[in-house]
Structure 1
Amino acid sequence: MTILYLLIPLSLILLGLAVWAFFWAVKHDQFDDLEGPAHRILFDDDENDLPPEQRAERKKNVSSSQDNQEPPV
């Protein structure tokens, strides 16, 4: 019977931590896109993960490096 004096407050503390973790995850947008990561693994290119600025810079670098290559003989 005396163990209940320990287990009840401990369970309430754990419940409070679980509720806090859930609200923290909701507040920090952890549940916004549930299907995106599952579909993203199917694509080979990683360009979809880049912001538009880096995507444009990468395309510019790739096109300039292709311009500098000599054609095969």
Structure 2
Amino acid sequence: MLPGGEHPTLADLAIGCELYQIKAVGYRFGAYPRINAWLSELAARPHFSAVSEEIDALGQEIKTQESDYLALDAFD
């Protein structure tokens, strides 16, 4: 359940977008189960899910680029 109850707050949306970008490129919040659950719940909401699909696609594109831009081994 989101801290703001049934509806996400502006703070939920702001930090959720930032954290979801990190997740999309490979970071896993397994060490932070409450954050992981909160972010998954937020990402499943109708308005956020449309945006999260685009973020996931961009994350996949970044992960497949051959460069040192993103060292994914840092996320393991």
Give the TM-score of the pair, scaled to structure 1. Answer: 0.29
Name which one, 1 or 2, has greater alpha-carbon Rg: 1
Give the TM-score of the pair, scaled to structure 2. Answer: 0.28
